[in-house]
Structure 1
């Protein structure tokens, strides 16, 4: 499925597709991936809002990424620490990175048995240990993505945009989009 155009109404088909797929799974895992500024956080928030019953927990991949050149390392770590334990009925752990202090800053423990959304650049890699995860790939034009990303962080991202884009493109080059079986959304 490919959904195009911006706005909440355009997201409805993709939100419905995710909710339909989630109904077929006992403890759904939704992976929302795509480049910075493509609308992943917005889509995740809309999905939580539209979720029937108990809302899913949301983990943002950037919470686990150790700095501007750690995208792959952070996303890979979520698999064995968070996804795999939850799949086997154990508590998963999210090791959090403090972007302002540039150091690790605490752990979050997520209990199994509830829906989970992992959202952010590298989410597909984070969820690789989970066959049957619902995958959503978001895209937007490069100039639109840049404007969105730089506007949301009040200048805090400006000096790092090029480094992050470079890390993102390296991740894509090594990993591929991994989006062939995903619900694709362009907003």
Structure 2
């Protein structure tokens, strides 16, 4: 997996702000990884760090789970993200999207705005897919052991999701293998590190030996 290196979210935020805007005027950050790895937490802490930097401001965070039309839409949701969020931002216009309710099994009325901010974070499985990489300022893959990820997901959503979740894990493994995600991203993050660090301000990066 590589040698662990402790780095700060603030430093990563500065790296993002210093990077080029490749989606219109927006620096797009993709936080990818399998279910239960810690993507949402990483994205939130990076957003907090950006908010604390001069000239940063807290970026919008789009969770791809909010755009899925149920379990079967694991990877095919992308046209919705493109139409509602990415295409407007590319044109320097505000985007917006409707959030899917996993309880009601439908998209809710009302739209969540995504302004053409200096930075926008998209978090979720396949967020750093190959088709979008040319427009990314930063791509991140968050990883964790499979059994721990399963335990986290069940603790969060209950054991009733296990049948769907196991099928989901098969789909995401196939996607990451075909997409070459681990080799293509800018940063691989350990979502279950045993290295001493302050999880509120620091993360653990893995690098090749």
Q: Which TM-score bucket, shorter chain as reference?
A: 0.7 to 0.9
2:49 match: 50
Q: Which runs of 5+ in 1 are unaligned?
A: none
1:176 aligns with 2:180: yes
Q: CA deviation at 1:157?
A: 3.2
1:60 aligns with 2:63: yes
Q: Which runs of 5+ in 2 are unaligned?
A: 192-209
1:108 aligns with 2:107: no
Matched-pair contact (CA < 8 Å) for 1:64–1:96? yes
After the TM superposition, which of the residue ranges 126-135 and 86-95 deviates more from structure 2? 126-135
Matched-pair contact (CA < 8 Å) for 1:98–1:104? yes
Q: CA deviation at 1:171?
A: 2.9
Matched-pair contact (CA < 8 Å) for 1:135–1:179? no
Instruction: Quote the Cα distance in structure 2 between the aligned partners of 1:114 and 1:100.
Output: 33
After the TM superposition, which of the residue ranges 75-84 and 52-61 deviates more from structure 2? 75-84
Matched-pair contact (CA < 8 Å) for 1:135–1:183? yes
Matched-pair contact (CA < 8 Å) for 1:68–1:160? yes
Instruction: Quote the Cα distance in structure 2 between the aligned partners of 1:13 and 1:45.
Output: 14
- Provide the TM-score with structure 2 as the length reference: 0.74
Instruction: Quote the Cα distance in structure 2 between the aligned partners of 1:92 and 1:18.
Output: 23
SS in 2 for 1:46: helix
Matching residue within 19, 23, 32 for 1:24: 19
SS in 1 for 2:107: strand
After the TM superposition, which of the residue ranges 89-98 and 134-143 deviates more from structure 2? 89-98
1:153 aligns with 2:150: no
1:133 match: 137
SS in 1 for 2:132: coil
2:40 match: 41
- Provide the TM-score with structure 1 as the length reference: 0.82
1:97 match: 100
After the TM superposition, which of the residue ranges 17-26 and 55-64 deviates more from structure 2? 17-26
Q: After the TM superposition, which parts of structure 1 deviate over 6 Å for at least 4 consecutive aligned residues?
A: none
- Shift in CA distance, 94/40, structure 1 to aligned 2, threshold 3 Å: same
After the TM superposition, which of the residue ranges 105-114 and 53-62 deviates more from structure 2? 105-114
